[in-house]
């Protein structure tokens, strides 16, 4: 019995040893410094070992006196190199390419009696892999920089570059809209720096393309029709006189101009500011034959001269300026002031007036700006309509007809009603009869 119990004990112990040996099998990393006591101005070799074997391709971060890290990649022998320019405390971190910490250590760099370093680094060259990137693309910046003691860091447009070999530093920056100069700064441990702004790039702005569609008359189409690639219209085709679509690329926070040429809708330009950068975004303008079929009511007490729809292929609109023009002869014929012309928008529940401003005038047109934050159904008003009163025959009531502000209502004169004429004749005859009776009675009395 004792032998059986002892055998079970050893079996259990062996099982535990096997389990713990599997846990202990996890890799261990170690940093070896050569020399173990580095000196400023001398090269320090750091070897990264994984389970006792050199580990190539790791990233070694050298941070001297809490300054900017200098990065170096371990070679095939697992070695990274660093020449401390000054004495002080050197922190060393070894990580994977994605930043996972493998090992770290700290060592004191001894100094030698030297004069203070006042010589800045020298930026020998700066190159860009492209000078005409698209907006948002990466631009690779390569810098060759040297220093009398040692370059400790290089940045391009504020982005830290990586020291890949010797005096070569490489990194990526993101292309912004427009023309930009790339500013490169190289620094050393003593705080000296050099700046280079010899390189620049420009992001081309795509030219918007236009397509115009004249809608033929005929049966009414249903809502939700495709208005072209990327844009949908809810307007039945039977109510669309002409549709025009312009495609362009929108830039986050920067206005982009869309130009239109069809005279039917009166709109000649829309400046659009988007919340994000988007390419090939269509804007569709529809000149309508009347009130939109999906809007339940006309603007109240407004003299409307034009209805239009504007649709966008983007759902990230930040704001837009709608520019339209009206013929001077039309404004004059209505007898209104230029400032009476306003653009209205259907907001889903009611018609609202947009901030509309006269921007210029020539011999043919008056030009306007209207600001909006959404696209929808729009109307161009010539002012508030006023009632024209006309008499209704036979009654004392009147009927009102809407007339634009500034126009004169034509007066209408109606003949007296027949019942009034009969009353006058009756009164006249009664007076005559009474007079005759009076005279006969007077002359018939005896004297």
Sheet strand arrangement including 59-64: 70-73, 59-64, 88-95, 101-109
pLDDT band at 5 (very low <50, low <70, confident <90, very high): low
> Which secondary-structure segment (H or E) carries 263?
none
Give the span between the Cα atoms of 199 and 181, in whole angstroms: 6
Distance from C-alpha of 367 to C-alpha of 338, rounded to nearest angstrom: 9
Q: Is 426 helix (H, G, I), strand (E, B) or coil?
A: helix
Spatial distance between the Cα atoms of 356 and 377, rounded to a whole number of angstroms: 16
**What does the pLDDT read at residue 386?**
53
Domains and CATH numbers, the chain: 29-109 (2.60.40.10), 122-203 (2.60.40.10), 209-384 (2.60.220)
Cα–Cα distance, 261 to 211 (Å, whole number): 10
Query: In the block, which residue shows the tokens 């809502």?
Result: 223
Four-residue CA torsion sign, 417, 419, 424, 425: positive
Whether residue 381 is predicted with pLDDT greater than 70 in this model: the reply is yes
State the pLDDT at residue 433. Answer: 78
The pLDDT tens digits of the residues spanning 169-197 come to: 999 998 888 899 999 999 999 999 999 99
Tens digit of each residue's pLDDT (9 = 90 or more) over 254-289: 899 999 988 898 999 999 999 998 888 899 999 999
pTM above 0.85, yes or no: no
pLDDT band for position 371 (cuts 50, 70, 90)? very high
Position 210 scores a pLDDT of 53
How far does CA 384 lie from the centroid of its chain?
Answer: 35
Average pLDDT of span 200-208: 74
User: Nearest CA to 321 among 280, 243, 267?
Assistant: 267
Q: Beta partners for 93?
A: 61, 104
Strand order in the sheet with 355-361: 255-259, 267-274, 317-327, 365-372, 355-361
Cα separation, 262 vs 306, whole angstroms: 14
Q: What pairing do the DSSP bridges indicate for beta strands 70-73 and 29-34?
A: unpaired
pLDDT value at residue 435: 73
Task: Summarize pLDDT for 410-433 with one digit per residue, the tens.
Answer: 333 344 445 556 667 777 777 877
pLDDT > 70 in the chain, percent: 77
Q: List all residues 6 or more positions away from 277 whose beta carbon is below 8 Å from its beta carbon.
A: 135, 136, 177, 249, 250, 251, 252
Q: How far apart are CA 33 and CA 91, in angstroms?
A: 12
109 SS3 class: strand
CA angle 44, 47, 52 (to 5 degrees): 155
Dump strand ranges (E) for 289-396. Answer: 302-312, 317-327, 342-346, 351-353, 355-361, 365-372, 377-384, 386-391
- In contact, 284 and 244? CB cutoff 8 Å: yes
String of DSSP letters for 315-336: S-EEEEEEEEEEEHHHHHHHT-
Q: How many CB atoms lie within 10 A of CB 124?
A: 13
Is residue 289 within 8 A of residue 315, CB to CB? The reply is: no
Distance CA 89, CA 110 (A): 9
* Strand, coil or helix: 339: helix
The span from the CA of 419 to the CA of 72, in Å, is 113
**Which residues face 187 on adjacent strands?**
153, 193
pLDDT computed for residue 88 by the predictor: 93
Residue 313: DSSP 8-state = S
**Nearest Cα to Cα of residue 310 among 251, 280, 267, 367:** 267
State pLDDT tens for residues 18-71: 554 544 457 899 999 999 999 998 999 999 999 999 999 999 999 999 999 999
């Amino acid at each position: 019995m004792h032998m059986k119990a002892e055998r079970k004990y050893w079996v259990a112990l062996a099982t535990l040893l096997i389990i713990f040996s599997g846990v202990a099998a996890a890799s261990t990393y170690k940093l070896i410094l050569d020399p173990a006591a580095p000196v400023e101005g001398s090269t320090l070799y750091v070897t990264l070992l994984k389970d006792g074997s050199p580990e190539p391709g790791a990233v070694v971060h050298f941070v001297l006196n809490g300054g900017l890290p200098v990065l170096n990649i371990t070679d095939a022998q697992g070695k990274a190199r660093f020449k401390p320019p000054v004495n002080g405390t050197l922190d060393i971190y070894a990580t994977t390419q994605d930043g996972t910490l493998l090992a770290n250590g700290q060592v004191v760099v001894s100094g030698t009696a030297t004069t203070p370093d006042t010589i800045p680094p020298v930026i020998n060259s700066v190159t860009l892999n492209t000078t005409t990137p698209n907006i948002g693309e990466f631009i690779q910046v390569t810098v060759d920089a040297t220093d009398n003691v040692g370059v400790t860091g290089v940045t391009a447009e504020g982005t830290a570059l990586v020291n890949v070999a010797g005096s070569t530093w490489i990194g990526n920056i993101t292309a912004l809209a427009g023309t930009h100069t790339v500013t490169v700064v190289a620094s050393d441990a003593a705080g000296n720096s050099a700046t280079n702004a010899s390189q620049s790039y420009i992001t081309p702005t795509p030219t918007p393309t236009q397509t115009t569609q004249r809608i033929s008359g005929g049966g009414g189409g249903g809502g939700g029709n495709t208005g072209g690639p990327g844009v949908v219209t809810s307007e039945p085709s039977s109510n669309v006189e002409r549709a025009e679509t312009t495609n362009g690329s929108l830039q986050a926070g920067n206005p982009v101009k869309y130009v239109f040429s069809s005279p039917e809708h009166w709109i000649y330009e829309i400046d659009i500011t988007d919340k994000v950068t988007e390419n090939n975004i269509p804007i569709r303008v529809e000149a309508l034959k009347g009130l939109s079929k999906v809007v339940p009511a006309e603007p109240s007490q407004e003299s409307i001269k034009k209805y239009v729809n504007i649709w966008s292929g983007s759902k990230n609109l930040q704001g837009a300026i709608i520019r339209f023009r009206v013929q001077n002869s039309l404004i004059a014929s209505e007898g209104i002031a230029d400032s009476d012309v306003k653009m209205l928008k259907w907001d889903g529940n009611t018609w609202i007036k947009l901030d509309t401003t006269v921007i210029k005038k020539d011999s043919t047109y008056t030009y306007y700006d209207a600001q909006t934050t959404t696209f929808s159904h729009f109307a161009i008003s010539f002012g508030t309509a006023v009632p024209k009163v006309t008499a209704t025959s036979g009654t004392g009531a009147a009927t009102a007809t809407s007339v634009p502000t500034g126009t004169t209502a034509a007066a209408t004169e109606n003949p007296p009603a027949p019942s009034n004429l009969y009353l006058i004749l009756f009164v006249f005859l009664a007076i005559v009869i009474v007079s005759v009776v009076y005279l006969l009675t007077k002359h018939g009395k005896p004297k």
